[in-house]
Chains A and B, each alone.
Chain A
Amino acid sequence: GQNIDQPTEMTATEGAIVQINCTYQTSGFNGLFWYQQHAGEAPTFLSYNVLDGLEEKGRFSSFLSRSKGYSYLLLKELQMKDSASYLCAPRDSNYQLIWGAGTKLIIKP
């Protein structure tokens, strides 16, 4: 079957760094997406990885290891507005996204 594992909730301090891990099992693999979702709002695209390694985009970076079925999202210089849920979504052999339940990130002053 297809499965995504992410921590349910994490807490971090403003200005710090946090790493959100995601492990996945899918039928085939065609890249992995990270989305951000603020409470009561729609998911918005953050990053996409298809090859192994680190993709950096400003304060956010995403890493992928296809052999380990593992990805992480790294958020630096945390700001209060980063309080949100972060959704890991690998894409399977049919190019369908398989969504994790998301990690709720709480930022404290």
Chain B
Amino acid sequence: IAGITQAPTSQILAAGRRMTLRCTQDMRHNAMYWYRQDLGLGLRLIHYSNTAGTTGKGEVPDGYSVSRANTDDFPLTLASAVPSQTSVYFCASSPTGTEADTQYFGPGTRLTVL
């Protein structure tokens, strides 16, 4: 079934630990995105990639890193987790990243940092 998958579904993590959230899409979309969603706030862009091999910083990039080695995968890494990174993380993709370009979302990862 075509779409975006994320792993893990949820995770409880001790502060200071390293964590990688995985995101894979099979739609051959060029652009991919990582958002976090916190109660009472809109989705906030962490990092994005307009095409394989390139990445860019979003609104809240500090404490996070990404890589885009190929079209399908866009992992998000927390080098040393802190409690303020407790959130729901959504990965999304879109065909081109420009013009009338709809973003499609993965199911999300619920992360708790203690």
Interface residues of A (CB under 8 A from B): 4, 30-31, 33, 41-45, 48, 50, 87, 89, 95-102
Complex interface residues of chain B between 100 and 114 (CB less than 8 A to chain A): 100-108
A98 partner residues in chain B, CB cutoff 8 A: 42
B107 partner residues in chain A, CB cutoff 8 A: 41-42
Q: Does B60 contact A (CB under 8 A)?
A: no
Chain A residue with minimal CB distance to B48?
A: A96
- The minimal Cβ–Cβ distance linking B97 to chain A, given in whole angstroms, is 6
- The minimal Cβ–Cβ distance linking B4 to chain A, given in whole angstroms, is 9
Contact A45 B103 (CB under 8 A): yes
Chain A residue with minimal CB distance to B98?
A: A95
B44 partner residues in chain A, CB cutoff 8 A: 99
A96–B103 CA distance with the chains assembled, in angstroms:
11
Contact of B105 among A4, A42, A101 (CB under 8 A): A42
Interface residues of B (CB under 8 A from A): 35, 40-45, 48, 58, 90, 97-108
If the complex has contacts A42-B108, A96-B58, are A102 and B103 also in contact, measured as CB distance less than 8 A? no
Contact B100 A99 (CB under 8 A): no
Contact A50 B40 (CB under 8 A): no
Top 7 A-B pairs, shortest CB-CB distance: A99-B42, A42-B105, A99-B43, A101-B42, A45-B102, A100-B42, A43-B105
A42 partner residues in chain B, CB cutoff 8 A: 90, 105-108
Contact B43 A87 (CB under 8 A): yes
If the complex has contacts A87-B42, A96-B58, A99-B43, are A48 and B102 also in contact, measured as CB distance less than 8 A? yes
Contact B100 A50 (CB under 8 A): yes
Contact B41 A45 (CB under 8 A): no
Contact of A95 among B41, B101, B102, B108 (CB under 8 A): B101
Contact A45 B104 (CB under 8 A): yes
A50 partner residues in chain B, CB cutoff 8 A: 100
B99 partner residues in chain A, CB cutoff 8 A: 30, 95
